């Protein structure tokens, strides 16, 4: 029986969101010291954070996540570099503009959000879960909801971007929600 999970983050909001999705108490790790995320895949980076979390919170169940957007016309980029795409000086609006510029002449606008969760148990057991939100890139940003690349990803079957969906609508189909449901099932929560 898992009574609580520590999330490898200092962000209480992220922990509260995961708690809602898992139906189990989730707390941020106190005095979280983030490791260098130098993996080439979402799984590699989630593992780096989960292992750092397990070292910082021994005896606990620790979960870490990594997520981002993959664009087919860019061979999967920005991928693990989603948060830094276009250079460190950019904000979400600038990064989104840089991404649309990079695909401006591409016919193929297929893209997806991906989320990988890694859980490490008190005995060192390791579990993985992932989720995907398939879609295509809009031609210009639309909608003020959400964050990051939400204004430019149109989920498959939708006409609206994620930035135009309500939080509940997005949670019902999101990569993060799917990964959390998969982890909840794997952990038997
Ligand atoms: P992380 O915090 O290292 O996982 O970086 C994730 C980055 O991917 C964020 O900074 C966003 O730019 C992007 N991203 C991940 N999930 C979403 C989402 O649900 N909507 C929009 N952008 C996202």
pLDDT, tens digit, for every residue of 108-137? 999 999 999 999 999 999 999 999 999 999
Dihedral, CA atoms, 118, 110, 78, 145, nearest 10 degrees?
-80
Asked whether 176 and 117 are in contact (CB, 8 A), the reply is no
Q: Is residue 1 very low, low, confident or very high in pLDDT (cuts 50, 70, 90)?
A: confident
Share of the chain above pLDDT 70, in %: 100
Q: Which residues line ligand 1 (CB under 6 A)?
A: 66-69, 82-83, 113, 146-150, 162, 174
Which residue has the CA at smallest separation from atom 15 of ligand 1?
Answer: 68
Q: Is residue 66 annotated as a catalytic residue, yes or no?
A: yes
What's the 126 CA to ligand 1 centre distance in angstroms? 23
Partners of residue 137 on adjacent β-strands? 153
pLDDT at 24 exceeding the cut of 90: yes
Asked whether 118 and 93 are in contact (CB, 8 A), the reply is no
Lowest mean pLDDT among 67-71, 108-112, 168-172: 168-172
Q: How many whole angstroms separate alpha carbon 141 and alpha carbon 143? A: 7
Q: How many whole angstroms separate alpha carbon 104 and alpha carbon 21? A: 36
Omega within 30 of 0 (cis) for the link into 184: no
What's the 180 CA to ligand 1 centre distance in angstroms? 15
**Per-residue pLDDT averaged across 61-87, rounded?**
97
Q: How many whole angstroms separate alpha carbon 105 and alpha carbon 98? A: 13
What's the 131 CA to ligand 1 centre distance in angstroms? 13
Q: List the catalytic residue out of 38, 40, 65, 66.
A: 66
**Per-residue pLDDT averaged across 14-34, rounded?**
94
Q: How many whole angstroms separate alpha carbon 47 and alpha carbon 44? A: 5
Question: What's the pLDDT at 29?
Answer: 96
Question: What's the pLDDT at 104?
Answer: 97
Q: What is the pTM of this model?
A: 0.95
Partners of residue 6 on adjacent β-strands? 27, 62
Give, for ligand 1, the residue of 149, 153, 155 to mutate: max count of ligand atoms closer than 8 Å to Cβ.
149
Task: Compute CA distances 75 → 78, 109, 128, whole Å.
Answer: 9, 12, 24
**In terms of CATH architecture, what is 5-187?**
Alpha-Beta Complex (3.90)
* 131, containing H or E segment: strand 126-137
> Per 3-state DSSP, what percentage of the chain is helix, strand, and coil (rounded to 5)?
40, 25, 40
């Amino acid at each position: 029986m898992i009574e609580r999970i520590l999330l490898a983050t200092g962000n209480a909001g992220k922990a509260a969101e995961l708690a809602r999705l898992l139906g189990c108490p989730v707390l941020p790790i106190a005095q979280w010291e983030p490791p260098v995320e130098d993996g080439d895949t979402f799984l590699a980076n989630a593992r780096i954070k989960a292992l750092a979390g397990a070292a910082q919170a021994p005896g606990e169940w620790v979960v870490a996540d990594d997520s981002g957007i993959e664009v087919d016309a860019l061979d999967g980029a920005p991928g693990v570099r989603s948060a830094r795409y276009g250079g460190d000086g950019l904000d979400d609006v600038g990064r989104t503009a840089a991404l649309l510029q990079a695909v401006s002449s591409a016919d193929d606008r297929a893209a997806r959000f991906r989320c990988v969760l890694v859980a490490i148990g008190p005995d060192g057991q390791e579990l993985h879960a992932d989720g995907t939100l398939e879609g295509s890139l809009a031609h210009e940003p639309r909608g003020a909801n959400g964050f990051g690349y939400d204004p430019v990803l149109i989920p498959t079957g939708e006409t609206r971007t994620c930035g135009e969906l309500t939080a509940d609508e997005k949670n019902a189909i999101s990569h993060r929600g799917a990964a959390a449901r998969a982890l909840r099932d794997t952990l038997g929560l």
